[in-house]
A and B are shown apart, each in its own frame.
Chain A
Amino acid sequence: MKRSWNPGLWAGFVLVLIGFLSYPLFFARFPLTRDFPWANLLILALGLLLIGIGVARAFSRSDQYRGKISGSILAVLALVVTGSFCYGVFAMTRQLPASHGSPHVGELAPDFTLPDSKNNPVTLSALINSPFTPNGSAAAASASGRTAATVLIFYRGYW
């Protein structure tokens, strides 16, 4: 008797791949799905479930369903992909050293001068005290027309 195809295995594996790749390609763009990757975990879990059902079928009813060998290979691969995702999201991005020397609330921000994107030198203290300009540098202007507050953001770069 010809045994029938075991589609859950393949569908599950495709879902696991989508669950992994859709994070950097799509879900990481939105804070709601980036900060905690619940959407991706859901897709990965669904994929693993389908593979689990497929493998169980292949072994318990091997007279009817194929997939003993391919199912085992796909299951291992899917677990590796899911494990890499969890490592990347829950461990790798948290490997940041402690920062004791960065300015604390209430301290003066250490001054500096750095070139902007047009190679003009920009000094923090000058910026903080600068008069407000509509497309200017600091964050906001007070009623007196001076900068009220500056938001300074450090980025990882390599954009």
Chain B
Amino acid sequence: MIAISVDTPEQSQHLRETQGYTFPILSDARDEVIRRWDLVHPHGGPDGVDIARPAEFLIDSSGKVRWVNLTGDFRVRARPQQVLAAFDGMNSVDASSVLTRGSNAHGHDDVAVAAGFVSEGAELAGGLLVL
């Protein structure tokens, strides 16, 4: 599980440390990948900067996209159960293998961790929704 945002590596590292996230957060500060994937939210950030719209992709071992969630409302993100259901839907893989993930600093159980990342991130973003 990996995340991408326009934040700098330093900001992302701070977030990982304060929230106990163990998944990598990649920095696309110049919107290059976000633009190439057509996921720009123009002027969506503070002071009118371009940021990414929230989006979730499930990619299989051959590099193929198997599930996409593009929200039409940035308050509403994929819930962990949706991602796990999409994973279960990939019948070529063993769904139980998601259990072998590591844990985060809060020590939740593993499925909850992999799934919890999605909701924690979304919650954070939601918490910053001060208009």
Q: Residues on A close to B: CB < 8 A?
A: 23-24, 28-31, 34-35, 84, 88-89, 92-94, 96-97, 99-112, 114-119, 122, 124-125, 127-129, 132, 134-143, 146-159
Pull 25 A–B residue pairs with CB atoms less than 8 Å apart, ordered by A: A23-B129, A24-B130, A97-B41, A99-B53, A103-B37, A103-B65, A112-B33, A128-B60, A129-B61, A137-B23, A139-B87, A140-B93, A142-B97, A148-B97, A149-B59, A149-B90, A150-B2, A151-B2, A152-B3, A153-B2, A153-B55, A154-B54, A155-B3, A157-B7, A159-B11
Q: A96 contacts B59, CB within 8 Å?
A: no
A101 adjacent to B38 (CB under 8 Å): yes
Once bound together, how far apart are the Cα atoms of A141 and B110, in whole Å?
A: 13
Q: Find out whether the CB atom of A159 lies under 8 angstroms from the CB atom of B23.
A: no
- B70, chain A: closest CB distance, angstroms: 6
User: Per-residue 0/1 for B43-66: is the Cβ within 8 Å of any A Cβ (1 yes, 0 no)?
Assistant: 011100001111111111111111
Residues of B within 8 A of A29 (CB): 123, 126-127
Of A102, A134, A138, A140, most buried by chain B (CB within 10 Å of CB) is A140
Do B68 and A102 touch (CB < 8 A)?
yes
Looking at the assembled complex, report how far the CB atom of B24 sits from the nearest CB atom of chain A, in whole angstroms. Answer: 5
Query: What is the size, in residues, of chain B's interface with A at 8 Å between Cβ atoms?
Result: 86
Contacts of B129 in A (CB 8 A): 23-24, 28, 88, 93
- Nearest B residue to A85 via CB reads B131
Minimum C-beta distance from B16 to chain A (A): 6
Chain B residues 1 to 44 lying within 8 A of chain A, measured CB to CB, are: 1-7, 9-13, 15-16, 22-28, 32-34, 36-42, 44
Task: Output the least CB separation between A23 and chain B (Å).
Answer: 7
* Further 7 A-B residue pairs, CB within 8 A, beyond A154-B54, A155-B52: A114-B28, A128-B60, A137-B2, A149-B93, A155-B3, A156-B41, A159-B124
- Specify which of A107, A118, A147, A156 is in contact with B54 (CB 8 Å cutoff): A156
B63:A109 contact, CB within 8 angstroms: yes
Known: A103-B68, A105-B65, A153-B55. Contact between A35 and B76, CB under 8 A?
Answer: yes
Contact B64 A106 (CB under 8 A): yes
Q: Which of B6, B12, B63, B68 has the most CB of A within 10 A?
A: B63
Set of chain B residues within 8 Å of A111, measured between Cβ atoms = 63
User: Are B12's CB and A117's CB within 8 A?
Assistant: yes
The answer to whether B7 touches A158 (Cβ under 8 A) is yes
A101 vs B4: C-alpha distance when bound (angstroms) = 18
Shortest Cβ distance from B76 into chain A, in angstroms?
5
Name the residue of chain A whose CB is nearest to the CB of B18: A159
Least CB distance, A132 to chain B, in whole angstroms: 7
B52's contact among A23, A127, A143, A157, by CB below 8 Å, is which? A157
